[in-house]
């Protein structure tokens, strides 16, 4: 066991934090008001390789692995979880291409999303729900092409150009498979953005595919491999979400330390009161617990070629980190008194953002059942 | 980062697990009933080098480090936290001596707690305080080449075994708090009736009385005035033991909950088929994983810290988290058992009585928070 960052990991962590502090922080008001990330922030992150950390260099990625990815996302999310979500969806999509795409697909789509202007999206959720068994979108084989039709809900980054990995039911096998579609191709359209209450910067839309035609080669993996792709994808998304809400916890902790040190109450700073000390320590302690689970998940992802092997660990980590983020946000507000409810204070934002964790990438209720089934299967 | 046990660590973990299952588990009823661990278990642990894992092999220890110690304590405690507490207190005393003792002290005393026939005690708590060294009332009067000690120490583990006890007392001349090395059962040493404690059976607690106990002036641990430093180091290391022990108790609770969920049937199918029970299982496991890596990490930190006192903040945070989580997990496991969980036929009833000890020893949770806050705020 070795609970220590390598020099490279420390460097990436610091690079991400510096960028977030210097370039994202000053733009936070803009991001909140416009509900959009300024282009120069996206460009800046691409230049620093922060958009493709775990992706191999062969296709334009940084080749830095998932541990570094977790560290970087945490830091960026501590300033703006909205920005971090875009990175995580992009890396999620890239990883799916890297693992299951044909050489041609990888060469065509990956470099643009690593360092170019493109951003990837992933579309699983539908109006009926996020469970893959509910997928109604169809991909009908017609000669050398697939014809896709369907509606996808709550899709991140689908307003940017770039490839979209979409899960649909393949006509010959009846299985759920992943297909690569170029956003804004013929037949692609999106709804008005949803009015979501937190995570500003990443508008979500519904995506409509109407007779979208793609070459057969744009199907990921072989026929009948859909299940493997799904399992890998389930784990991949949770690495991103775990890192992002770890960043939320970190932000809450930092805000409380600052506030409790500055705020004078009955003639002394809040830090002199034992109940405030207790709250701060609870946050610090929960951060430690969440942190090492999240870093471990990065480690497991680096060690497992087949990310399907880490579904259980990714699910329990995601549950733990996101539940903890909500608890921590609660006590952070508490320390701030009524000031915490004012938008001048970052904790008000943290409160709104934190609740997104348990609800996305599989609700925590659903994930508990994933973890339990795995345990029960093994204990037989 | 590397979240994987070394081969050696895996081996130590499995040796401890096997020993606990084969040698301790069959005697558990007797241990609980008598609140006493049979001597052959202590001997067996010594034979397997499990009694003093982090102590240097130069003095009879295993020299295996704290990461291994955490793994072994977890496994011992999974079967019997009482045994693990005996081991843990022995190691706090032995480690304090390893770090602060003179060569002569180490040669004389350490082997007693590693391969010999003794067990270390560490006596800080008094009737007046278990938390605040400034309130210590035990006294050490300098008398020529000797100190004369007078004290009442409360809740002292291992105090009925032979071997050294490190007693914290105030030098009446200088006012310093120092750790003094006393041979248990020397003249003037006596113990009370055992306290009737409801859990962690097997590791009885006694009050220790020192009445005009005379020790050579060299039996002071570290230099004069180093008592606070020694206490800080001992507190940091003691919390590693407690964290591992209640991680083990948590593991036991989880396993009991899981076993019951798959064995107990309703309308012909195990209750594990209900989503409510599945949630309970997933929650227990998730909490165990979070606690586990915190515990393993403080083992790692201890192995890599020059001054073990430096890890006090981390070991205190881990200790609070793990001991509170052990209570949560036991609560969930008990819930899965319905009313059966309240019956002594079911192990979970014993675990329930054990888990509450974690948050009350080695610094009460909320007091520790005050202490960690101090460290955090210092920056
Ligand atoms: C900010 C944000 C970004 C997102 N980005 C994307 C994206 O890029 N791509 C994408 O595909 N999706 C995206 N989503 C969608 C998100 O992943 C899903 O909304 C989420 O997984 C939950 O699905 P649902 O809302 O349909 O809930 P449902 O699946 O309909 O669940 C409804 C309720 O039923 C419970 N439930 C469901 N199944 C079970 C079960 N088996 N046992 C017990 N209870 C159960 C759930 O816990 C929940 O309480 C995003 C969502 C947000 C908020
Ligand atoms: C199984 C077991 C084994 C033990 N083994 C040993 C042993 O081997 N050696 C030994 O020396 N002791 C041992 N003890 C004693 C144990 O370490 C102490 O009892 C424990 O540290 C708490 O001390 P106390 O009960 O005197 O509480 P006190 O110190 O009296 O505290 C009482 C309450 O006041 C709170 N409090 C105190 N100070 C503050 C403050 N400044 N701010 C806020 N709150 C405060 C505490 O948190 C607690 O809630 C053992 C106890 C048990 C149960």
- Residues within 8 A of B (CB atoms), A 187-216 only: none
Q: pLDDT tens digit string along A261-285?
A: 999 988 999 999 998 999 999 999 9
What is the distance in angstroms between the Cα of A237 and the nearest Cα belonging to chain B? Answer: 18
The rounded distance, in Å, linking the Cα atoms of B175 and B140 is 10
Residue B42 has pLDDT above 90, yes or no: yes
Structural domains present in chain B: 7-114 (1.10.540.10), 121-224 (2.40.110.10), 228-377 (1.20.140.10)
**Chain B residue nearest residue A284, CA to CA:** B317
State percent of chain A over pLDDT 70: 100
Q: What is the CATH number of domain A226-379?
A: 1.20.140.10
Average pLDDT over residues A117-128: 95
Q: Mean pLDDT, chain A, as a whole number?
A: 95
Give the CA distances from residue B296 to residues B177, B293, B310, in Å, rounded to whole numbers and listed in that order.
32, 5, 17
Ligand 1 pocket test target in A241, A363, A367, A374 with most atoms within 8 Å of CB = A363
Whole-angstrom distance, CA of residue B325 vs CA of residue B316: 14
Cα–Cα distance for residue pair B154/B191, rounded to 1 Å: 10
Structure tokens at A298: 């990065």
What is the average pLDDT across B182-201?
A: 96
Residue A380 has pLDDT above 80, yes or no: no
Model confidence pLDDT, tens digit, residues B261-282: 999 999 889 999 999 999 999 9
Pairing assessment for the beta strands B164-171 and B205-216 based on DSSP bridges? unpaired
The answer on pLDDT for A225 being more than 90 is no
Q: What is the pLDDT of residue A172?
A: 92
pLDDT at position B376 is 85
- Contacts with A369 from chain B: Cβ below 8 Å: 275, 278-279, 282
State the pLDDT confidence band at A338, using cuts at 50, 70 and 90.
confident
Protein residue whose Cα sits closest to atom 42 of ligand 1:
A366
Q: What is the pLDDT of residue A159?
A: 95
What separation in angstroms does the CA of A282 have from each of A257, A325, A328? 12, 12, 8
Q: Give all strands (DSSP E) within A159-295, no chain letters.
A: 163-170, 176-182, 188-190, 204-215, 264-265, 268-269
Determine the pLDDT at residue B364. Answer: 83
Residues A371 and A356: their CA atoms lie apart, in Å, by 20
**Confidence at residue B149, expressed as pLDDT on a 0 to 100 scale:** 98
Share of chain B above pLDDT 90, in %: 90
pLDDT at A224 (0 to 100): 81
Among B160, B295, B245, B324, residue whose Cα is nearest residue A327: B324
Kindly state the tokens that stand for B302: 């201890």
**Per-residue model confidence (pLDDT) at position A131:** 85
Q: Would you say residue B219 has pLDDT above 90?
A: yes
Catalytic residue among B40, B103, B362, B375: B362
Angle at B83 between CA B79 and CA B86, to 5 degrees: 155
Q: pLDDT higher for A139 or A275?
A: A139
| Annotation marks residue B362 as catalytic | yes
Helix/strand/coil for A170 = strand
Tell me which chain A residues have a C-beta less than 8 angstroms from the C-beta of B284.
none
Q: 3-class SS at B61?
A: coil
* Residue A242 binned pLDDT confidence (cut-offs 50, 70, 90): very high
With a cut of 90, say whether residue B365 has pLDDT above it.
no
Please provide residue B259's backbone torsions phi and psi, each rounded to the nearest 5 degrees: -60, -45
Q: Are A5 and A15 in contact (CB under 8 A)?
A: no
Q: pLDDT at position B152, please?
A: 98
pLDDT higher than threshold 80 for residue B139:
yes
Return the CATH number of the domain spanning residue range A121-220.
2.40.110.10
Question: Quick check: B330 pLDDT over 90?
Answer: yes
* Residue A199, ligand 1, Cβ within 6 A: yes
pLDDT at A213 over 90: yes
The kind and range of the H/E element at B372 are helix B365-378
CATH topology of domain A7-115: Butyryl-Coa Dehydrogenase, subunit A; domain 1 (1.10.540)
Q: Cβ of A380: how many Cβ atoms within 10 Å?
A: 5
Q: Of B285, B318, B366, which is closest to A371 when you measure between CB atoms?
A: B285
Domain boundaries defined on chain A: 7-115, 121-220, 226-379
Min Cα distance B164 → chain A (Å) is 33
pTM for the full predicted model: 0.90
Q: How far is the CA of A364 from the centre of ligand 1 (A)?
A: 9
| Angle subtended by helix axes B275-304 and A274-303, to nearest 10 | 90
Confidence of residue A286 (pLDDT cuts 50, 70, 90): very high
The pLDDT assigned to B218 comes to 95
Residue A242 CB less than 6 A away from ligand 1:
no
Q: What is the mean pLDDT of residues A308-318?
A: 96
């Amino acid at each position: 066991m070795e609970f220590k960052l390598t020099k490279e990991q420390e460097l990436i962590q610091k690079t991400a934090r510096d960028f977030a502090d210097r370039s994202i922080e000053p733009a936070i008001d803009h991001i909140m008001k416009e509900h959009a990330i300024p282009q120069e922030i996206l460009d800046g992150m691409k230049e620093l390789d922060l958009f493709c950390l775990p992706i191999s260099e062969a296709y334009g990625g940084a080749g830095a692995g998932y541990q570094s990815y977790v560290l970087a996302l945490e830091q960026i999310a501590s300033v703006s979880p909205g920005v971090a979500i875009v990175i995580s969806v992009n890396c999620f999509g890239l990883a799916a291409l890297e693992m299951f795409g044909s050489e041609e697909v990888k060469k065509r789509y990956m470099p643009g999303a690593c360092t170019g202007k493109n951003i990837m999206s992933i579309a699983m959720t539908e109006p009926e729900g996020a469970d893959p068994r509910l997928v109604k979108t169809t991909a009908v084989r017609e000669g050398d092409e697939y014809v896709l039709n369907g509606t996808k809900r709550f899709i991140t980054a689908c307003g940017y150009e770039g490839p979209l990995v979409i899960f649909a039911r393949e006509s010959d096998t009846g299985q759920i498979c992943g297909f690569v579609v170029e956003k804004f191709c013929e037949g692609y359209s999106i709804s008005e953005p949803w009015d979501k209450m937190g995570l500003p910067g990443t508008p979500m839309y519904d995506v409509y595919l109407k007779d979208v035609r793609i070459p057969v080669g744009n199907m990921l993996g072989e026929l009948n491999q859909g299940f493997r792709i799904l399992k890998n994808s389930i784990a991949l998304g949770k690495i991103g979400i775990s890192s992002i809400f770890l960043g939320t916890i970190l932000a809450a902790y930092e805000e409380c330390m600052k506030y409790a040190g500055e705020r004078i109450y009955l003639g002394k700073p809040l830090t002199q009161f034992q109940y405030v000390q207790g709250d701060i320590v609870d946050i610090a302690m929960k951060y430690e617990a969440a942190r090492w689970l999240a870093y471990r998940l990065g480690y497991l992802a680096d060690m497992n070629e087949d990310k399907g092997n880490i579904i259980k660990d990714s699910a329990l980590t995601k549950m733990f980190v996101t539940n903890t983020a909500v608890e921590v946000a609660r006590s952070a507000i508490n320390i701030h008194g009524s000031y915490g409810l004012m938008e001048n204070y970052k904790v008000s934002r943290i409160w709104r953002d934190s609740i997104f964790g348990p609800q996305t990438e599989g609700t925590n209720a659903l994930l508990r059942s994933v973890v339990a089934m795995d345990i029960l299967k093994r204990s037989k | 980062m590397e979240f994987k046990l070394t081969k050696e660590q895996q081996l130590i973990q499995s040796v401890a697990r096997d020993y606990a299952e084969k040698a301790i588990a069959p005697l558990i009823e007797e241990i609980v009933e008598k609140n006493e661990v049979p001597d052959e278990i202590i001997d067996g642990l010594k034979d397997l080098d499990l009694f003093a894992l982090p102590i240097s092999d130069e003095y009879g220890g295993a020299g295996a480090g704290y990461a291994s110690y955490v793994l072994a304590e977890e496994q011992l405690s999974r079967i019997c936290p009482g045994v693990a507490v005996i081991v843990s207190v022995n190691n706090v005393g032995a480690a304090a001596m390893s770090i602060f003792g003179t060569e002569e002290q180490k040669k004389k005393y350490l082997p007693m707690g590693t391969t010999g026939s003794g067990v270390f005690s560490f006596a800080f708590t008094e009737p007046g305080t278990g938390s605040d060294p400034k309130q210590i009332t035990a006294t050490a009067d300098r008398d020529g080449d000797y100190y004369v000690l007078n004290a009442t120490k409360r809740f002292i583990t291992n105090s009925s075994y032979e071997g050294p006890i490190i007693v914290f007392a105030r030098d009446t001349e200088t006012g310093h708090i120092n750790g003094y090395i006393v041979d248990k059962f020397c003249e003037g040493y006596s113990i009370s009736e055992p306290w009737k404690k409801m859990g962690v059976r097997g590791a009885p607690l006694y009050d220790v009385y020192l009445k005009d106990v005379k020790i050579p002036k060299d039996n002071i641990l570290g230099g004069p005035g180093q008592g606070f430093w020694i206490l800080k180091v001992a507190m940091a290391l003691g919390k590693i033991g407690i964290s591992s022990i209640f991680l083990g108790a948590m593991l036991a609770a989880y396993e009991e909950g899981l076993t019951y969920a798959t064995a107990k049937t309703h309308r012909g199918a195990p209750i594990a088929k209900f989503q409510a029970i599945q949630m309970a299982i997933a929650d227990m496991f998730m909490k165990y994983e979070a606690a586990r890596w915190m515990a393993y990490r403080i083992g790692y930190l201890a192995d890599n810290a020059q001054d073990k006192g430096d890890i006090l903040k981390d070991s205190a945070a881990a200790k609070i988290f793990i001991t509170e989580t052990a209570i949560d997990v036991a609560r969930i496991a008990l819930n899965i058992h319905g009313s059966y969980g309240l019956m002594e036929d079911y192990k979970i009833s014993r675990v329930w009585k054990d888990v509450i000890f974690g948050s009350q020893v080695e610094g009460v949770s909320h007091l520790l928070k005050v202490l960690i806050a101090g460290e955090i705020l210092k920056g």
